[in-house]
Structure formats: C-alpha cells, structure tokens
Structure 1
C-alpha cells in the first residue's frame, strides 16, 4: 500500500478536481442518498456500462463504471441528439458540446437565443469557403513553408486559411502528441479562432494520430463533467460516474470501487480514506508532511525539566539528568526524582498523563499537544506499516493456498477462505488507519466514546485475524483453525461496517464536531461542520 502522503498535491489549493456547483446544473444528485437531488438523466443507461453499483449501507455511494467504449458511446448519443435538434453537422455539434462542457440544455437555450454569438464563441464563426477538402490550387504558395511547387496538396477549413498538407500535419502532430490538445485545436492562422473538427482532422493525419486524438477527446469529456472521473489506478482506462457535489463533501466520504479493483475517494482521488472527509484528510497529510520528522526528533531528543519546564536536550547515555537552569536532578526515562529512583514503589515503565496544571506555560502546552499528535500519528503510521506487511502476505496468499491444498487435500474452492481473510485485513487496516486521523480532529462529545469503542473492537478483531493468518501451513490445515479464521474474517467485516455506518450517519446529520475550523481553507474540496 503506497503512502497517501505521496498524493497530498492531488488535493492542494490549486486542484480543480471538484468543479463549482454552479457548473453543469443539470448534473446533480445521487440516488438513495438524502443530501442529494435525483440522479442525472443526461448520461444514457447503456448495456456497455461495465458496472452499476447501488448503495447498500449509509456509507455506500451510488456510482457507475464506464469503459472507453461506453464513454465514446455517450458522446456519440449526445452529439446525435444535438444534431437533430439544431440541424447542423455532427462535427459542429461536437465542437459546440465541448464548448458548453457537454451541458446540452444550456447549449440549446443559448443557441436558440443567439445562434451567431454561440457559434462565434465556440470557434465556428462565419464561413468563407465550402466544406473542407484536400485540393491542389494552381499557383498556391504555403505561407508557413513558402513552398509553391506544382501539384502541392493544400487544405483549408471554412475560415479559408490555406496551408500545405505537410505543414498542417506537422502542426496537428505538435498539438496532439506534444501538447496533448484535441478539443480546442485552432486554425494555424495566428488570429483565427476556428476550431478544427474531427472530419477535417481525419483527412490530414495518420490512423495512429487519429486514435490518439480520440483518446484525448474522451479524456476531455470525462474531465469536463463533474460527475465523471478517471480511475487513478495505473494503466486503468475506466471512468467512474458519481453525482456527489463539492458542497456535500463535509457530509459524505464518496468511496467508489473501479472494475479493476481499485478503491478510491471520488471527491479527492486519493485511496479510500473512510471515515475521514476529504478536507480533514488534506489537513492531516499536510500536518504529517510538515510535522512528523520534527516531532519525532523533539520527542526523542528533548524533554522539559519537571521543575522549571526548561527544554533539555539529552547529550549523553546516562539517564541521570541535571537541569543547568535550576539544578533539579531527575530520571530522563520517567522524569521522576533521581533521589527516589530505584525504590521498590517507583514505576519507570508506566505512562502517566500529566494534569492540566502541569501544562500551564507555553512549553508545557506545546509538549502536551505534541504528545497528543504523536499518539494518533504513531497509530496511524503503525496501521499503514501493517497494511504494507499484510499486502506482502496477500501477494504470497496464492502460494500458501497451493501449499495448503497439497498438505490437506482441500480443493481450490475450499482454501479461498485465506484469500477472503487477506482481503479483509487489507480493507480493515485501511479503515483503521484513517480512524486515527479522524479522531485527531474530533472534539469530544457523548458520541466520541461510541466511536472509540467501535474503533477498539475493530482493531482487536483485526489483530486476532492477522495472528491467525500467519500460522504455519500445518496448523492452517486444521478444521478448527479454518473455522476460526472464517468466523473472524466475517466478524472483522461486520465491525468495519458498524464503525463506518455510525461515522457516516453522524457526519451526514452534522452531529460530529471538530477541534479546528475546517470550513473554508480554499483547498478545492468540501468543508466540515465544526463547533466554531
């Protein structure tokens, strides 16, 4: 499992991943979720859709998964619809739809109100020539390469700016391959705003370049629609549709699962981070990146004198410390009086949380804050590390299943319980990791104890399952252990659902309060309700 810290920039202040709610007003809603409107109807239901997931619990989202063919089909159907209504070429209808970010209702309304203005703004201004075609014009000289040889093929769009085919091909290759442009490729003439259409491009480029052009158009289509996002898994070509709005990201954590198996948050494209909302995750990852190394060094190398609270750095191996400021002698390990250290009643191994009176001055309060952060960070990091180890085990699970078949005579179906256990460990570790980030910002109220009890129950169950899973093959072949693993796997999954349902319901209903203001940070993702 890769660290989510690597992806902090994904939800940085400059991220436009979730568009403003004023755009694509016709694209709103998630079915069966009370904070959203009805599901949009401008994406046709099609049998080529690879997946249509309906929510089953309070933390599940309704979403669909589309492969590239389904994405292409959606565009074609919308183009055909606009073509029939406005009675224009399909290529021009496509350019208009891209200009309006595929909001066909707004396109139809604006076009009927002022067609000339809409065409001009979209790059389909007045025409000075007939339909585009390759031509040989006697006496023609290309203004780019200055070639004027006899039989030179040339091309011009309806704007009339004519150039030789070789220069046009070089220009389009630069735009498509080097710059990754497709939807808004303009005429090569410097002052011309005319947009090249797909039919014209097919006359000029190779099939390979045309294929890349279509890939870029598909990418633009997904990026233009707020309810569609690409699966971030490497080499995955699928897109996911989920109608959650940016303003609702303080009420829900929109986790989706692509057909490739990748679980990610639709709001910020990070790996699944339930139960923590996107804005909280952004803050936590930034804090970890900024504070962890400094905090670890301070915790390991400095402490405060128990008497005068001066910060002291340990520069030797002996635990007998003498404060240079007040000459107080104490034990570095337990901070107790050195004169009493070693007596039978003294406990050097026990952690005693200091009272509020011991944290009066700024240094003491700073250390209390640091200790609180490290408490949650260490547990967050521990589950992240454990998840990596569990992933290593998961990669070896198939080998272990084969060995178990050989040792016990079980069938391949009968040993699938190991695969189920491995998947449960991965998913539950990921959830547990983010419960500690969630808890760090959570202000205490009468719901906090329930959350912590659910967290504890899941954590104990996961540790028990992990211990069972690592047993040697000779023990895994025993029917009792197999039954125990299957029961514990089921129990872990149930405890995870209970925890997430509780946090999701309270989040949706605004019952959680947080100890920092997360309302408006300019991060490009939603806000979180706080006590103020």
Structure 2
C-alpha cells in the first residue's frame, strides 16, 4: 500500500498524540518483506473511530518534548509558555495536525499537508472553507485530482479510493511518450510515472525536474505538475517514486515551511541556530519573549526582533522603515564625531557614558544635547532637556511646506539621535560585558581575601546596563508615536529617571578597579533595575498612574 493511500485503520502512518489525560499513544504499522502488515499491540485508530472519540493533541500544543528531554520554559505571564525545540522534534506535531485533517476530510495525507500549509495550519479556517466549497478549495490549493479518489465532503467523491495503489502510479499501456524529452522511441509503461492529474513523464525527466525544484530551496514545496497549465502540486509521493534519494531534502523543506507558516512557531534568529520557539497555550500573535539557551539569543516570538519593550511590533516596524527611509539625511547630520561646544575641537565618543570631557579645553558637556554638563545635575532637573522634544524650539510661525517638513525632520532627528545613541551605548555595554570576566579576575587578585562571588557584582551591573540601554533605545521609538499630552509627559518623566540612573551606573562601572566601590555599584544596579521595571509597568498599565 502506498503511503499516500489512507483508510480507516490508518496503516503505514505513525502519529503521536495525547488524550485528555495527556497520556501519549502511538499507532504503528510496518510491512515485512512480503508486503504483509505487522501491527504492534497498541490500540488501532479504527477503535477510536468506532467509539467516536478521536484522541488528538490540541491545535498547536507542544506540552511535551517528543524526545522526553528537558527543555526551558518561558512564561508569558498568563500561564502559557514558550519552549525551544530542535526542528526535528516538531515532526510529530506536524504529523498530528495532518492526521486530524485526514480524519475529518477523508483525503490523502499528502493533500492534507498542502491544504494545511495553504491555510497557515489553521484547521478551523480550513474546515470552514472546505465545507463551504470543497471543489474550490481543492482547485485553488492544487490538490483537486489528488482528492478526487477520496470520499470527500460535499459530494466530491467522484472515484472510489484505490486499494493498495498510489494515485501517483505507473502507467499501464505498452509504449508511452514523455512530453518533456520527447524521446522518439518512447518508454515502457514501467518507465513512466503519472501524476494524479493524469500527466505522465519518464523517470529520468521526473528526476531532473525534482532536482531542479529542490534547487529553489523552500519554494520546492509549491512546485506544480511539469505539464504546462496544470496546477496540481507535486508532493512527497512523486518525490518518493521518482527520486527517493532526494526525499529527505524535500521533507526538510516541508518541515521548514511548517515552522514558518504555523502560527505558534518561529525560528531562532541566532546565526546558524536551528532551534525553534514553540508557543504553548497562546499563539505567536500574543507576543512573548523566547530565549535560546543554545546560542543565547533572546527574541520576540511575534516579530523575531530582539526584545523591544515598550514599543509594539507594529510601531517598531514603522520606526525601522522610517529610519531606513531617512538614513541618508540622518547619517549626513549625525556624524561619528561632534565638535566641542566650547572650542569646537572634534571629539570621538569611545565609551558608553554620555558625560563627555573635551581633551583640549576640558569643557564638560552632554553628548546628547551638547549642553553644559553642570546643567544636568540631579538638583537642576537638567536631564529633561535630553529626553523631551520641544516643538517650540522650531519656528512655528512659518507654515510653508518646507518649514513643516523641516519641523518634522527636526522632530524625527530628536528621537533618532537618542535612539541611535542608546543603540551605540548598548553595543558598547555588550563589548564591556565580554571583557568583564577579565576585570573580575583582576579585581579578585587586587583583593586577596575576596571570593568569586564578591566580584560577580561587576557582571551583574554590565548585564543590567545592556538591558537598560536596550529598553531606553526603544523608549524613543515608542515616544515618537505618542500624542503630546499628560500621559506623554509622565512617560518622559519615567524615561528621564531611567536615563539618569543608567548614566550613573555606567560611570560607576567604568571606574578604574582601584576606585571601584562594590556597595555603590550593587545599590545603583538595584535602583536601575527598579526604574526599568517602573517604565515598562507604566506602559503595560496603559500609562495610567
């Protein structure tokens, strides 16, 4: 029996699924060399159908690691979670999704796989569309001929299913002509392979066709019949017959397509990483942060970017598009160096702190606003100048198109400069974090009575700085889309507080080791963590006090 033929007992397929008590049940049937079926002692699927109680894993459920290995769990906060799994461990989940569609629609598994993929693995959406108009769905998805031999919904069972023979079968006539190579001598019937749509080609041409399709990468799973104008899709059944050695590669692209279109999975964006984030109990649309322990990459499950709170995925996309569109102007205005406000000597920023001292005239100023640093002390409230955009600084009396464009550019540059500044500071903090262990060793050697635990505060502080710079960076993308009202003013207050204490921690952590005060660094790290949590909670609460 071909693996594309599916009947009530589910022979030749192995599916893993869980019942209501979360107990795994596996159905397996193998064939011996004589083609006879050998069943194990596990309950057959037919018993379930007779009792009318199909036991299935709920849609998208990944509650158990198929291999039984421990995996990390990351809570959304509503009881659901995210797990990181090797891509290969998603095969049982994909097979279970296909099985449920086969059970309900009574179609071949190869067709069910295509229908699910075209409906982004949303079973309910597929079922609704299929019940409304099965012929239209089958035609649109390229499986109409493949399904024509099934007892399909809506009276589509035009031909009874064959018993023990695949629809993609070998031709039975004596001599056949291949429409691809047009060989004058023709071919024996056992040298031809026929698609469910009735189009047949020689084995050699089939192999070449499939090889070329695989060169297209993931798009190969959408390859249609070689016959011009035919939209019947090529599946694993044709690959299995014509190019069995290429089947593993084709199936790997099927799995990749599943990961990329299934609403609850996302590839880890880490370079060369093949781990997959799987949402449990919530869809990817719900968001959530995944952390891959294999490559140490953290990312947003919904958009795949680095964690970007407080800005939403939608606004982040708008912001990134705007930054790309304005990049040439911004790069022209924002140079890598800035002139000292007093002596105009060019200065390069080579540390994370925004408190700058001109090496020429010793003038101290803020790298962000270029103002006198003495106006940025805790007693002056000067920090507000660096995080709040003041539209009154522009010429509001000029209402010309050019003036309006200039004001909009000024507003954008205000937020972009601060976004870019914190982005650079974040990268510097990451670099410092990599060098932290060497500093910890040196500090421990400097204080002979200290333990490794006594110097770990340096690593904790640098990790906090990386996280804070990341949050601060995205607060400016978030603020760019805020309306000018009291909520925005309160948000900027939280933003200013976090910036102030982050700058303090940066200065403390960059001090020479002999000037390092452990108590000060530990206390400031806790303060920064508190204010970072405050601004995120403020946004999560709808910016309501």
TM-score by length of 2: 0.64
Q: Residue 171 of structure 2 contacts residue 200 of structure 2 at CA under 8 Å; is this kept in 1?
A: no
Q: CA deviation at 1:258?
A: 4.2
Corresponding residue for residue 445 of structure 1: 485
Q: CA deviation at 1:74?
A: 1.2
Distance 1:76 1:51 in 2: 23
Q: CA deviation at 1:173?
A: 1.6
Q: Residue 217 of structure 2 contacts residue 253 of structure 2 at CA under 8 Å; is this kept in 1?
A: no
Q: CA deviation at 1:452?
A: 2.2
Corresponding residue for residue 37 of structure 1: none
Q: Residue 501 of structure 2 contacts residue 527 of structure 2 at CA under 8 Å; is this kept in 1?
A: yes
Corresponding residue for residue 45 of structure 1: 62
1:176 to 189, 197, 214: 214
Distance 1:354 1:109 in 2: 53
1:455 counterpart = 2:495: yes
Corresponding residue for residue 485 of structure 1: 521
1:284 to 319, 323, 326: 319
Q: What is the alpha-carbon root mean square deviation over aligned residues?
A: 4.1
From the superposition, tell whether residues 356 and 393 of structure 1 become closer, same or farther in structure 2 (CA, over 3 Å): closer
Distance 2:393 2:436 in 1: 50
Distance 1:41 1:379 in 2: 46
* Gapped regions of structure 1 (runs ≥ 5): 1-39, 301-316, 319-347, 513-532
Distance 1:197 1:384 in 2: 46
Q: CA deviation at 1:431?
A: 0.8
Corresponding residue for residue 228 of structure 1: 265
From the superposition, tell whether residues 396 and 139 of structure 1 become closer, same or farther in structure 2 (CA, over 3 Å): same
Corresponding residue for residue 179 of structure 2: 143
TM-score by length of 1: 0.65
Greater relative contact order, per chain length (Cα 8 Å cut-off, separation 6+): 1
Corresponding residue for residue 121 of structure 2: 102
Distance 1:175 1:265 in 2: 33
* Gapped regions of structure 2 (runs ≥ 5): 1-56, 150-158, 336-342, 345-370, 376-381
From the superposition, tell whether residues 169 and 377 of structure 1 become closer, same or farther in structure 2 (CA, over 3 Å): same
Describe how 1:295-444 pairs up with structure 2 within 5 A. 359-362=396-399, 371-408=410-447, 412=452, 415-444=455-484
Q: CA deviation at 1:455?
A: 1.3
Q: Residue 79 of structure 1 contacts residue 90 of structure 1 at CA under 8 Å; is this kept in 2?
A: yes
1:54 counterpart = 2:75: yes
**Deviations 1:409-448 (CA, angstroms, capped at 9, x unpaired):** 6555554433322221111101111222323333333333
Q: Residue 62 of structure 2 contacts residue 93 of structure 2 at CA under 8 Å; is this kept in 1?
A: no
1:84 counterpart = 2:113: no
2:86 to 45, 67, 71: 67
Corresponding residue for residue 505 of structure 1: 541
Q: CA deviation at 1:274?
A: 1.7
Describe how 1:111-126 pairs up with structure 2 within 5 A. 111=130, 118-122=137-141, 123-125=143-145, 126=148
From the superposition, tell whether residues 115 and 389 of structure 1 become closer, same or farther in structure 2 (CA, over 3 Å): closer
Q: CA deviation at 1:235?
A: 1.8
Distance 2:421 2:90 in 1: 41
Distance 2:404 2:290 in 1: 41
